[in-house]
Chain A
């Protein structure tokens, strides 16, 4: 099956720093990648939809200047949390949709961000 990786799997940083999370589709090309956030005991909430070569589409309430998304290739999308604060601590998960065939989304293993 299709494999999506995320790096890092866990990051702890100080308040005010920026953190970059990478999402890669390892064995397929993904025209679209999605970024989700999940707080403890809550559901996944879509943050933005990232299309290769174009600007990301952000969901209502998600600050595009704070959560910078870059989708420079068909296998890589990055999410940068700028000037992170403790309330940004969460589980960030990406998913990728294949270029052709099934419309299924394949999820990465997630990145746990803790901002001190």
Chain B
């Protein structure tokens, strides 16, 4: 079983719609969580950290459920430029290595 698992998608989303997807992690020692965005053939870029109380950054909202060991990302008012692969990332302790999920592909269409 992979340590961080994601639905690979693709999620086909009409422009302006809302899309949400989850990520599950198996290692209960994971302490920090992040969402990265990766465009085709490019490096991943940090989208947002995920805090225990949930956090929002513009149209993006991240939630963490430690009891069920999952993280979610919600994108509101989807833009064409939101089309990308979203990588869920877990880290066990500060300074420790990042463990990436396989990514969820999102395609926003006009």
Residues of A within 8 A of B (CB): 32, 34, 41-46, 49, 91, 93, 97, 103-105, 107-110, 112
Contact = CB atoms under 8 A, between A and B. Distances in A.
Nearest to A94: B43
A42 B102 contact: yes
A44 to B, nearest CB: 5
A103 B43 contact: no
Given A93-B43, A108-B43, A110-B42, 18 more contacts: A34-B97, A34-B98, A41-B8, A43-B87, A43-B101, A43-B103, A44-B44, A44-B87, A44-B100, A46-B97, A46-B98, A91-B41, A104-B46, A105-B98, A107-B44, A107-B45, A109-B43, A110-B41
B45 to A, nearest CB: 7
Contacts of B8: 41
Contacts of A41: 8
Contacts, number: 37
B94 interface: yes
Interface in B69-106: 87, 94-95, 97-103
Interface residue SS majority, chain B: loop
Contacts of A108: 43
Contact of B41 (A32, A34, A112): A112
A110 B43 contact: yes
A25 B87 CA distance: 23
Interface of B: 4, 8, 41-46, 87, 94-95, 97-103
A115 B100 CA distance: 25
**Shortest 10 CB-CB contacts between residues of A and residues of B:** A107-B43, A43-B102, A43-B100, A44-B100, A110-B43, A109-B43, A46-B97, A93-B43, A103-B94, A107-B44
Contacts of A112: 41
A59 to B, nearest CB: 8
A49 B46 CA distance: 19
A68 to B, nearest CB: 20
A93 B100 CA distance: 13
A103 B96 CA distance: 9
20 contacts: A34-B97, A34-B98, A42-B102, A43-B101, A43-B102, A43-B103, A44-B100, A49-B97, A91-B41, A97-B95, A103-B94, A103-B95, A104-B46, A105-B98, A107-B43, A109-B42, A109-B43, A110-B41, A110-B43, A112-B41
